[in-house]
Structure 1
């Protein structure tokens, strides 16, 4: 039977109307063209049988007619019958060649005419016997017609209209002839026989129609599934797999074989798990995921998107498999079938993404996310086993100077060496990671006591403080550490990390290079700092800042040569706040920039009220100096006040060299080009290069008070440092100012050692602007403490 598929196969009603069976009306969703295709496709297979039936019938009819009818009439009957059979054969052959699925209404009508032709031809047989033969001949003719009706009529029953027009003439003719002879019994038998055949044809037609529709529906589903599977394999990276109840591979698809790196015939019939496990089959070394797959199949459970580790060609691959058991008509398992795909690359990408999400790309250490997770697990274990764990935060000292002076590439290599040293110091009980920038951390799973934490922290600080060799550079950076112990110092990850950070801040604030453990009092310090920051942000708006001025005198004449402007804060909320408290807050929050601008403007404005020979010294922080418009800020202050640029001296500390030294040099060069002077404050306490003393041509070097007091106490090192600074300054044509002079002996000492200027409580404490102005009308010696 040829492939005949309806687009939509309907569900037939319980009772089919006669007009539907006769093909005179369509079924909803099933048109006559499709029905006709089914019918004529079936008839095409019986064409030869029908021809043989007509030939045999013609021979029997000839035998019945020869004793009675004229030869010419018999010959004519044979010719008409033969013509009809030939016509039918050629017609059906033409339809088969043209494709039976394209049977038109015209073709159906021609077949209907042909059936009527043959029916009328066979009708002539009982008529001729009625006219020429006796009762015996009439009975033989009726028997022959009955056989033809049953045989050919039954064959044509799939096209009931054709069957009816074929058998009706002969049956009607037989009934009429018997009636005309007066044999009413045979007439009734003939009529009943005709009606019985009509009923039989109708039932057979209905059965054929229902069977044909059902078969078409099944074929449609099968072909749809085949089409989908074929399209699935052709257009997707997935493939089909199937095994029998003994777990042997069956019906190997080409794509499945390709996934295994073999030909279909090479793996057909092989054990499924042997093929997937590779060399591990002989050693019974199966991946856990393969065991899960085996358990699912053994339990006859359907599964979906199961990730399985397999071995293909000696290489590890990852497959995603879905499968369902196959059952026979009795519900017995006959195997498993499903789909699969190779997800190795996707898994590698997922693993890489997961790695990047939890590990630092530069150092390879766990990142903040993984440290959080590890600390959470450690705290859970500590609660479960009633023990303690610890979190240590580490911050590198002077790392920014390396980054700014040598570049980020050198800084990155330095961080890599730091990570190696941390990894060497930590064992199975610790997890070290990078929080970001130059901050690292250690999770200590089991911390017996605070001494163990302190020992590890000190060991880390000592190791990280040792010199590093990076690209022919010898680098020195230190480390500060802060720690918190759980559950004493925190019940949650966030709380413990926050407290460790507070301890780290205390360690950095306490001189760096040390370890500090968390104390509850740190919260009070942090809260105080937070409140100070909040109030400091509004200090300028509320006009809470003011300037004090400390005199700087000539070492020999003791006349005032300049004042250092010192900012003070009288807070509405906190009262008087020491500069030692609010200046670090301002620098950390970059509030020092607007505060420094305000100090510059107010100091220049105040200096215009002093004698022309008196200068004003203004301290500038590194953060302010790094601003691109720093020189414009100085120009604006000088313009607003009208102060001579030569009367402004900018004071900077050696810490400017820890940042971007070139930016600092350019900014100070612009200021010097305006005519301002630059003093280097707290010389000898920082990490500057002496080369910058010549490049920047400072006007003044200020000797730190620690060296002055040390020299006064007879410290040979301090005496040597002060003499060296004075000698170097003179050779570079710079002035020297001794800071922190508080007694007459100290003043005499620095004067003998060659210092040009003196500053300290001995000659005057920081004072208001009004007190500073009053100095120029009084004898300065009266101000000595």
Structure 2
């Protein structure tokens, strides 16, 4: 089939002058130089081996009758030329259609002349009257090279001629000098015939390549019309006349249009596709675009258009090109079509999934940002305001951790339903991810209106929920920023609303916070603190202080609680309340906590053996499975008995973990380490923790100590209940924050086992702790 078409598509011959680059190029031939260079691509290794082999043959031919230095010198030059030519042409983009090829074409011709000069020399190495047998031997070798060159570089006749002619002239001259003019005539005739062959062969090559290109173009045109029908299972072919009316309607197309071929013959294509909309002229934009393209006689491909078949909407994919006769007269369009209704529905679903949250059905982050961009643009154009509200649920993580993610997902669905119920015209609410939501407000009258909506959101979200027979309570923290005054871009306004949300969370949650410029300063301070905190361990900026813990009954010292302090050259003394949460958020608490553990164990070994050391451990540390091995290592390196180490944890450890922390604490208990439950009574105070984990101590928060000393009935009742609970479970109690004698007496009366506070001693460095133990010795020495 291809050969038949190639025979029918005949390209005209290129002139000899144009072919040899001696005259103006015929523009109808396309990129002639690239057509000539393309066959040389990949032939460099062959040229290298042929040239080298022929050079060796010539050298061995000349060797018996010539001095070896002359032969070896010429051979070295020939081999060096072969390698140089190979390396140069191997890097050239021969036949690259994106380049003109003129530079490469000229380089090939120059190299042919260099090679001709090199191979013209051997005929005269025996002098101006060389022996005939020497000349004839070299002529046979050179003739073989000419034939090889004509085969390899047939598309480059000029390069062939620039090698053949000079070498042939040199050989003929040598034959005349050797006394054989007839042989010189034969050599000249052979060179002339070979040159003529190269020119004709070069013309045929260009002609054939042009025919191939024409065939390829025609094949592509046919493939455009039949691609979907033959290769991708398109449903039908369609054709119109020059008035865009259907002609030659196939049964398959008639079936797709819901009619008969006879009835559809001559019907305007637009009428057949638009259905009832033909009478009203209310076409879709895509159909209008297709009609305009056909009117301008333009090709179109893979155009998705809505059609109406039997009163039902469908989606078709259409491709077509104009039909022209031999004289270029427009005959109409021919194209292919297929029904892609199901694919279009899937694409719409995918597009929806890309912009809407699957769980709640609310717009996702992408949709919210697009809506905020529109709101900002409108606010800037009309000199009005818009707003971005960021919403974060309070106590939601506790629901996920205690009742599981399925329950949490159902809760999020109810929250989103309440948010949608609040929305009015000009408001868009969406889910950013996790338990974070956002609301975009168009044309806000004032910041007060945004704050009132935020308060309403908090009140609505904070109402009780019922999920799977569980009554749940969550709150909401809201931060907002007003555009464009707080940010003229989506990124800036979103970031500033986020800063306001952080401010709301820092206030304890369930409140509204507006963006103010000072929040950037706070964020910068946090960034600087985190940067300094990352190098604090290496710089040795941490120090442990120790606060005494005494027996309530007689005030006997029984241990110390290790408390970390940080002094930084830039920030000065930073309180633990500021840098410990930052260390947890930035994942730095693990190395800091390990340093605290190892340092405290090492210092405790310098104390009397009856004193223990208590160390606070965060929930982040207990989520690390390697923490138990770190504790074992610290005890082993310091030599501290496990019974002298007490680990203090809070209830948040259990709320944030699915059981791994409890297992790790059980491992520590198995080692003989004591456990203390800190701040009991201020959180969830679940008795299940005390049942599942064998704590040795329950610590009473200072707020209850102060309240009991002031006679608060609730505080007194709580302390008594905690003491009774601890006594029944075989645990001791430690009251924190005792600062006055009244508070100490109250705690003794209520039955607390141990007391810790300023009354007995402030936190002190390790050196001061050692001074306490040396005082009796110093006193006895002084008495002596």
TM-score class, shorter-chain normalisation, is 0.5 to 0.7
Q: Does 1:387 align with 2:384?
A: yes
Mapping of 1:534-613 within 5 angstroms? Answer: 534-613=531-610
In the alignment, is residue 233 of structure 1 matched against residue 229 of structure 2? yes
Structure 1 position 427, deviation (Å):
2.2
Q: Which residue of 1 aligns with 2:423?
A: 426
Residues 324 and 223 of structure 1, relative CA distance in 2, 3 Å threshold: closer
User: Do residues 670 (structure 1) and 667 (structure 2) align?
Assistant: yes
Kept in 2, the 8 Å contact 1:657–1:688? The answer is: no
Of residues 522-531 and 725-734 in structure 1, the stretch that sits farther from structure 2 once superposed is: 725-734
Partners of 2:491 and 2:701 lie apart in 1 by 42
Distance across 2 between alignment mates of 1:744 and 1:727:
23
Distance 1:443 1:307 in 2: 33
Tell me how far apart the structure 1 counterparts of residues 394 and 293 of structure 2 sit (CA, whole Å): 58
Distance 1:292 1:225, change over 3 A: closer
Deviations 1:211-239 (A, max 9, x none): xxxxxxxxxx9999889967863444343
Q: In 1, are the aligned partners of 2:551 and 2:755 still within 8 Å (CA)?
A: yes
Change beyond 3 A, Cα 1:8–1:645: same
Q: Name the CA shift for 1:231/1:700 in 2 (closer, same or farther; >3 Å).
A: closer
CA distance in structure 1 between the partners assigned to 2:502 and 2:583 by the alignment: 16
- What is the rounded CA distance, in whole Å, between the counterparts of 2:714 and 2:224 in structure 1? 92
Structure 2-normalised TM-score? Answer: 0.68
For residue 461 of structure 1, the aligned residue among 449, 458, 461 is: 458
Provide closer, same or farther for how the CA distance between residues 656 and 228 of structure 1 changes in structure 2, counting only shifts above 3 A: closer
Of the two, which has the highest radius of gyration?
A: 1
8 Å CA contact 1:552–1:564 kept in 2: the answer is yes
Separation (CA, whole Å) in 2 of partners of 1:675 and 1:553 = 22
Q: What's the CA shift for 1:357? A: 2.3
Q: In the TM superposition, what whole-angstrom CA distance separates every residue of 1:37-85 from its partner, at most 9, and x where no partner exists?
A: xxxxxxxxxxxxxxxxxxxxxxxxxxxxxxxxxxxxxxxxxxxxxxxxx
Aligned to 1:706: 703
Deviations 1:187-244 (A, max 9, x none): xxxxxxxxxxxxxxxxxxxxxxxxxxxxxxxxxx999988996786344434332334
Preserved CA contact (<8 Å) 2:704 2:718:
yes
Assess if the C-alpha contact under 8 Å between 2:228 and 2:336 holds in 1: no
Per the TM alignment, residue 552 of structure 1 is displaced from its structure 2 partner at its CA by 0.9
Separation in 2, partners of 1:652, 1:222: 80
Shift of 1:569: 0.6
CA–CA distance in structure 1, aligned partners of residues 224 and 430 of structure 2 = 52
2:503 is aligned, of 498, 503, 506, to 506
Q: How far is the alpha carbon of 1:560 from its aligned partner?
A: 1.0
Distance, in Å, in 2 between the alignment partners of 1:558 and 1:268 is: 110
Partner Cα distance (1:609, 1:383) in 2: 69
Partner SS state of residue 549, structure 1: strand
* Preserved contact between residue 398 and residue 658 of structure 1 (Cα < 8 Å): no
Aligned equivalents of 2:229 and 2:310: distance in 1?
A: 22
* Distance verdict in 2 for CA 1:716–1:346, change over 3 Å: same
Q: For residues 713 and 622 of structure 1, what CA distance do their matches in structure 2 show?
A: 33
Q: Deviations over 1:642-691 (max 9, x none)?
A: 11111111101111122115112111111111111111111111124211
* Structure 1 counterpart of 2:722, from 719, 722, 725: 725
Q: Say whether the 8 Å CA contact 1:657–1:687 is kept in structure 2.
A: no
Aligned partners of 2:229 and 2:336 also within 8 Å: no
Say which is worse superposed, 328-337 or 510-519, in terms of deviation: 328-337
> For residue 676 of structure 2, what is the aligned residue in structure 1?
679
- 1:690 maps onto 2:687 in alignment: yes
1:355 to 349, 352, 356: 352
Distance 2:224 2:4 in 1: 16
Alpha-carbon distance in structure 2 between the residues aligned to 1:646 and 1:544: 30
Answer with 463-472 or 730-739: which moved more. 463-472
Tell me, what secondary structure is at the counterpart of 2:246?
Answer: coil
CA distance in 2 between partners of 1:575 and 1:470 (Å): 49
Q: CA offsets, 1:447-469, max 9 Å, x none?
A: 22111111111211222222222
Contact in 2 for aligned 1:616/1:649 (Cα 8 Å) = yes
Which stretch shifts more, 336-345 or 374-383? 336-345
**In 2, are the aligned partners of 1:569 and 1:576 still within 8 Å (CA)?**
yes
What CA distance in whole angstroms lies between the structure 1 residues aligned with 2:490 and 2:264?
54
| Equivalent residue, structure 1, for 2:208 | none
Asked whether 1:524 is paired with 2:521, we answer yes
Aligned residues: 574
Unaligned stretches of 5+ residues in structure 1: 15-220
State the Cα deviation string for residues 583-639 of structure 1 (Å, max 9, x = none): 111111121111111111111111111112111110000000111112111111111
Distance 1:287 1:531, change over 3 A: same
Q: How far apart, CA to CA, are the structure 2 residues paired with 1:594 and 1:737?
A: 28
- Paired residues for 1:18-29 under 5 Å: none
Cα distance between partner residues in 1 of 2:218 and 2:751: 109
Aligned: 1:751 with 2:748: yes
1:658–1:687 contact (8 Å) kept in structure 2: no
Equivalent residue runs for 1:285-296 within 5 Å: 286-296=283-293
Task: Structure 2: state its 5+ residue gaps.
Answer: 14-216, 780-784
The residue number in structure 2 matching 1:378 is: 375
Local SS of the residue matching 1:241: strand
For residue 762 of structure 2, the aligned residue among 751, 765, 778 is 765
In the TM superposition, residue 266 of structure 1 has moved relative to its aligned partner by: 5.0
CA distance in 2, matches of 1:777, 1:571: 31
**Are the equivalent residues in 2 in contact too, given 1:651–1:681 (CA < 8 A)?**
yes
Q: Aligned in 2, Cα 1:457/1:593: closer, same or farther, shift over 3 Å?
A: same
1:388-420 deviations in whole A, cap 9, x for unaligned? Answer: 111111112222222223322222222222222
> What is the Cα deviation at residue 718 of structure 1?
1.7
Measured on the aligned residues, the alpha-carbon RMSD in Å equals: 3.1
Aligned partners of 2:547 and 2:562 also within 8 Å = yes
Q: 1:12 and 1:519, CA in 2 relative to 1: closer, same or farther beyond 3 A? A: closer
For the residue of structure 2 that corresponds to 1:540, the secondary structure is helix
Secondary structure of 1:541's counterpart equals: helix
Q: CA 1:233–1:605 in 2, change beyond 3 Å: closer, same or farther?
A: closer
Work out the CA distance in 2 between the residues paired with 1:554 and 1:469. Answer: 47
Partner of 1:142: none
CA distance in 1: counterparts of 2:223 and 2:662, whole angstroms? 78
**In structure 1, C-alpha distance between the alignment counterparts of 2:711 and 2:517, rounded to whole Å:** 42
Residue 390 of structure 1: SS of its match in structure 2? strand
Q: SS in structure 2 opposite 1:736?
A: strand
Corresponding residue for residue 8 of structure 1: 7
Is the alpha carbon distance of 1:236 and 1:693 closer, same or farther for their aligned partners in structure 2, counting shifts above 3 Å?
Answer: closer
Alignment of 1:214-225 (within 5 A): none
1:26-425 alignment, distance < 5 Å: 233-238=229-234, 239-244=236-241, 248-281=245-278, 286-297=283-294, 303-323=300-320, 336-425=333-422
Shift of 1:6: 6.6
